Structure 1
Amino acid sequence: MIWHDIATIGTLAILEGLLSADNALVLAVLVKHLPDKDRKKALRYGIWGAFVFRIICILIATWLLNAWPFKAVGAAYLIFISLKHLLTKDEHKKEAKMAKGLSFWKTVVAVELTDIVFSVDSILAAVAMSPKIWIIYLGGVLGIIAMRFVAGGFLKLIDRFPGLEEGAYALVGWIGIKLAIETAEQTIHDFPHLMPPALFWLVMAAIFFGSMLWKRSVK
């Protein structure tokens, strides 16, 4: 069991780093149209907003863990954002186009709404990965640390292995499927056990390493 917990924490650390890097990338795209001084200020608000919303998500994680309707909605949401990201071409360019022409404060609002989305992604992924509250808390803390200290490093890693960005969202989708199956097992009598741990981790590893090789070979 301890090795399962270690693997879960390691996976959350990588996933939080990749999602935080994408969060930072989206924030940079949203504020790109602003003058340099306002851009830095809006980014600063965005980073602080990311901290605050992640802390809020950590604080309500206990309730989320025990509410199966939320877990069902959360599973659907994780699968939705995964498919949306993977099937939408030039998503960041569309975000930049939508943000262009917004005033400073409207841009800040767009930035904070983006932070809320990424914070929800973060805590839902942690809830789906483990029923242990301390691991969920640790996942939230890792998200905060990633936003503050390692997002830049993961951005460089994504630049070197472009497929990792898609890989992160493929992982999110797979985690969403896991959460959906586990919720069904809890609420539907005699629902078959479809997600043995070995299968879950095998697919996780295949997605991660496959995404590193895929676009690197295409590039």
Structure 2
Amino acid sequence: MDSLLSAFTDPAALAALIALVVMEVVLGIDNLVFISILTNKLPEAQQPKARRIGIGLALGMRLVLLSMIAWLVGLTQPVIDLGFSGPPDMHGAPTFETQFSWRDLILIAGGLFLIWKATKEIHHNVDPDGSDDVLGKDGKTAISFGSAIAQIIVLDMIFSLDSILTAVGMTDNLAVMVIAVIVAVTVMLVAADPLANFIARNPTVVMLALGFLLMIGAVLIADGFGVHVPKGYIYAAMAFSTLVEVLNIFARRAKMRKDGV
């Protein structure tokens, strides 16, 4: 209880809480984009339920990981060392390394999954003869509810690990981390349906979102190999691309009004 009160009364803890909430919300966007794209492939009646389950699982996984912080921190200890690394950068650190922890291996696996998934979706969107199935199995059935939830669980695990390790790096106050995670997931829950509906109404946004997933997958793999791309660069690029797409949407709508469509 004392740590909970300090999160709102201690200026340092409050500053950490605000910063962590912002960071967790930003990290949650990646998770939410994937959930939105995937659940839009389900029958319309099942989409809201799948989103709520996916976001609920994201919250549950984050809280479970927070309760296992000591074990989680241990995941950053090297378990595999291939014995070579890249040349030093301007700060003297290797440009890449092959000393892997469990966290690194999980990030690499998650990055590969994201790239595979985004590539399959892009192929599905650009191939005029492609099937209606997001997994490309056949042209008769849409993705099943169970398949969607299973894929959401896999990505929830990856994003939850990244989210909690970020929180651990920013503060050692457990109450602050719990509050930040709950607030961030609540924002995801509120934004889930509007974001999914926006993506469904604007097909070009789907390709932009898939491009984001490709980039995030590549960044996760790079992170696993010790190449740390500043997150600010990633989200600045995403924000700029989104702004350009929003301007394109406004331009298309203005043209349609002008043409009387």
TM-score by length of 1: 0.57
Larger helix percent: 1
* Cα offset, 1:75, TM superposition: 4.3
SS of the residue 2:134 aligns to: helix
- For residues 242 and 22 of structure 2, the distance between their equivalents in structure 1, rounded to whole angstroms, comes to 19
| Equivalent AA in structure 2 for residue 73 of structure 1 | W
Instruction: Indicate the RMSD between aligned Cα atoms, in angstroms.
Output: 4.8
1:54 aligns with 2:89: no
TM-score by length of 2: 0.50
5+ residue gaps in structure 1?
Answer: 182-194
Larger strand percent: 2
- Show the counterpart of 2:23: 15
5+ residue gaps in structure 2?
Answer: 1-10, 79-99, 125-132, 199-204, 249-261
The percent identity for this pair of structures is: 20
| Equivalent AA in structure 2 for residue 50 of structure 1 | A
1:74 aligns with 2:139: no
| Equivalent AA in structure 2 for residue 97 of structure 1 | V
**Structure 1 residue corresponding to 2:41, chosen from 13, 33, 46:** 33
Is the Cα–Cα contact under 8 Å of residues 106 and 158 in structure 2 kept in the other structure? no
* Cα offset, 1:106, TM superposition: 2.5
> Which range moves more in the overlay, 140-149 or 91-100?
91-100
* Cα offset, 1:64, TM superposition: 1.6
Say if 1:94 and 1:210 are closer, same or farther in 2 by CA, change over 3 A. Answer: closer
- For residues 76 and 6 of structure 1, the distance between their equivalents in structure 2, rounded to whole angstroms, comes to 33
* Cα offset, 1:122, TM superposition: 1.3
Q: How many residues align?
A: 192
Say if 1:111 and 1:211 are closer, same or farther in 2 by CA, change over 3 A. Answer: closer
Question: What do residues 184-218 of structure 1 show as CA deviations (whole Å, max 9, x unaligned)?
Answer: xxxxxxxxxxx9xxxx9xx5656555654577579
Is the Cα–Cα contact under 8 Å of residues 46 and 111 in structure 1 kept in the other structure? yes
Is the Cα–Cα contact under 8 Å of residues 134 and 143 in structure 2 kept in the other structure? no
| Equivalent AA in structure 2 for residue 48 of structure 1 | G
Is the Cα–Cα contact under 8 Å of residues 16 and 143 in structure 1 kept in the other structure? yes
Is the Cα–Cα contact under 8 Å of residues 16 and 170 in structure 2 kept in the other structure? no
Is the Cα–Cα contact under 8 Å of residues 17 and 146 in structure 1 kept in the other structure? yes
